[in-house]
Structure 1
Amino acid sequence: MDLALLESTLAELGEPAYRARQIWEWTAQGADGYAQMTNLPVRLRDALSERVPFSTMTVEREARSADGTIKVLLSTHDGRPIEAVLMRYRDGRHSLCLSSQSGCPLTCAFCATGAMRFGRNLTASEILDQALHFRRLGRVDHAVFMGMGEPMINLANVLAACRRLPDLGIGHRHTAISTVGWIPGITTLAAEPMPLRLALSLHAADPALREELMPVNARYPLAEVIAACEAFYAAKRRMVFVEYVMLAGVNDSVGQARALADLLDPRMFKVNMIPYNPTDSTFTGSSPRAIAAFAAELERRGLSATVRLTRGRDIDAACGQLAARV
């Protein structure tokens, strides 16, 4: 819902300010239209149906995985494609993977989104409408900004959406914002009162290799990115999650695990190893044995390490696979 349009329309209709709060409460609780809002006059519900679209997005297609993951392809009013994902876990979590941009301008070599044509930043309402789409399907309680785009480039709108997520059931401590190392955004997030989590998309401890995989490293060198993350920890006292996609023969040797452990302070960082999910790139995923050896070396050196549970791979909904196709 375009909340700014809603407020201006209510003002034009001469409605009291509390009407916006009523409408938002219904929307955040999963209502799928104005007709359900029984504490609003019928004439107002009719007027809003004509003047304020209930969502800024149009649902184009939906795919459902055998593991319960749901991916939705949405389009904006100007035809920009967006994908968002709902992941259901056995421990009861219902976690959303949200997009902050249509496409991505940063062209990481292993990521399908980076191969898309970049469209534009999403508005706060467009980000929020992804979450609202899944809220209408049921309970949601976690969110990660790991979908399409670099959230730190669009941080003002991402934060505006985050301020509303608790109304849907997603607390700030259960919301993580991922970045490739966009230092101005990390610095801004460190000063943000909301206790949001930070995730760093790292993928190589060697700067030269990281630059091959992630061209942004030329703009924001690895040493400066790590320093910014350490400053985030100092300001927030919240550990930084390091995302590390495991690429066979590229970044998965035990020696590279040692280099990663040397780079990261175990008091400030946790490593989340991500099995590579197939895209149109030339990479292949590391073997289970290589992943286990990598994790064991990190743990031996005192660095906490986990392997991400892959969700939605059969519908191209897993990490790195979002490319506006279902």
Structure 2
Amino acid sequence: MLQLMEELNEPAFRAKQLFAWVHNKEISSLDEASNLGKGLLEKLSQKVLISSLNIVKKQVSQDGTTKFLLALPDGNYIECVLMCYRGDRSKKRNTLCISTQVGCAMGCGFCATGKSGFTRNLTVGEILGQVYTVNNFLSQEKDGYKIGNVVYMGMGEPLLNYANVIKSVRLLNSKDGQNISMRRITISSCGIAPQIKKLADQKLDLVLAISLHAPTNELRSKIMPINHKYPLEKLKKACQYYNEVTKKRITFEYALIKDFNDQPQHSKELAQFLKGIHCHVNLIPINSVPGSSFTRPSKKRIYEFLREIKELGVEVSIREEKGTDIDAACGQLRGKVVN
């Protein structure tokens, strides 16, 4: 924005004012920037286009989770998910799960997003627009709490839209913008090993989550095609590098699939793979997806697997489920208009 103001022959302080209007006050039109002056606004209108994402549809779960279907300027659609925590066990907070791509090229066998293939990366504005659009919704319909946590776990593979994702992270963290702590931002990846190392070198204080979902190459390759390119050996080295450079632990997501990766032998293989990695494991009972035959284990087996992993010295928990009844949970986002 400083460069823009130089081009327009305007003083530098105007850049900070414009930044605050866009990234803190979340304006949807330049006309709302009341302190910029008519002359500057006229010049900006020739250079800058500010537009918000349109909410096409929203669905509210029994647990209060809200899924938004958003229309992009080019006619494509994405989804994001708002999770409001108001229980006695946690402070009031709002977490938004956002998308980074239209569709996804990874083709994971348990995920709805990849069923339609990959269309394109989202721009920085489209990534941030999900946060700003939902904040506007919260200001009108909820209790005034803005989004305090952002998880890049929606549609798409964040590390394959690396530059735009990192720019959006820095803008969300900016004290003149949303001022969201890095520790409240999570990037989830299916395991793009070179990009994990690249992210490590940024030394950002965010949370890295890896979609693991299987403890051996044989099993993982059956459900995650990316494993052919970056098998577990390469993934492990990248994760250890991340630990070493950032001094931060990694979260591994493990979707429990009945009779596929939920048996005692799998818990042992999982513990073996995780040796030498500073990490925490989130167990996620698989969610139903159209066209997939995968089902979740019984509740008894889920807790047996949890116990087995704990006894093998792995830090582990079962992720709290939200939004399953509206297809807003892990692996269920599609980004399509459905009547």
Q: Could you tell me how far 1:152 is from its partner in structure 2?
A: 0.9
1:107-144, Cα deviation, whole Å (9 max, x unpaired):
00000001023111111221111111122224111111
Distance 2:334 2:79 in 1: 8
Of 200-209 and 36-45, deviating more is 36-45
Of 17-26 and 299-308, deviating more is 17-26
Aligned to 2:314: 303
Distance 1:266 1:72 in 2: 39
Of 13-22 and 297-306, deviating more is 13-22
Of 147-156 and 260-269, deviating more is 260-269
CA contact (8 A) 1:82 1:102 kept: yes
1:147 maps to 2:154:
yes
Q: Using the aligned pairs only, state the percent identity.
A: 39
Distance 1:287 1:55 in 2: 47
Aligned to 1:157: 164
Aligned to 1:324: 335
Please report the TM-score for the alignment, with normalisation by the length of structure 1.
0.91
Q: Could you tell me how far 1:52 is from its partner in structure 2?
A: 3.9
Distance 1:116 1:107 in 2: 9
Query: How many residue pairs align between the two structures?
Result: 321
1:76 maps to 2:72:
yes
Runs of 5+ unmatched residues, structure 1: none
Q: Could you tell me how far 1:93 is from its partner in structure 2?
A: 2.4
Of 220-229 and 266-275, deviating more is 266-275
Alignment of 1:176-195 (within 5 A): 176-195=186-205
Runs of 5+ unmatched residues, structure 2: 139-144
Amino acid across the alignment from 1:323: R
Amino acid across the alignment from 2:127: I
List 4+ stretches of structure 1 deviating above 6 A: none
| Secondary structure of residue in 1 paired with 2:259 | coil
Please report the TM-score for the alignment, with normalisation by the length of structure 2.
0.87
CA contact (8 A) 1:140 1:169 kept: no
Alignment CA distance shift 1:88-1:49 (3 Å):
farther
Q: Could you tell me how far 1:297 is from its partner in structure 2?
A: 0.7
| Equivalent residue for 1:271, pick from 281, 300, 304 | 281
Of 28-37 and 147-156, deviating more is 28-37
CA contact (8 A) 1:108 1:214 kept: yes
1:202 maps to 2:198:
no
Aligned to 1:58: 54
Distance 2:261 2:7 in 1: 58
1:18 maps to 2:13:
yes
Aligned to 1:67: 63
Amino acid across the alignment from 2:17: Q
Distance 1:184 1:55 in 2: 34
Amino acid across the alignment from 2:93: R
1:88-122, Cα deviation, whole Å (9 max, x unpaired):
12322211111111100010000000102311111
| Secondary structure of residue in 1 paired with 2:268 | helix
1:254-287, Cα deviation, whole Å (9 max, x unpaired):
2211110111037601100112121111111122
> RMSD value over aligned CA atoms?
2.2
| Secondary structure of residue in 2 paired with 1:309 | coil
Q: Could you tell me how far 1:324 is from its partner in structure 2?
A: 1.1
Distance 1:60 1:142 in 2: 23
CA contact (8 A) 1:56 1:77 kept: no
CA contact (8 A) 2:197 2:238 kept: yes
Q: Could you tell me how far 1:53 is from its partner in structure 2?
A: 3.9
1:238 maps to 2:240:
no
Alignment CA distance shift 1:54-1:295 (3 Å):
same
Distance 2:67 2:8 in 1: 37
Distance 1:70 1:50 in 2: 37
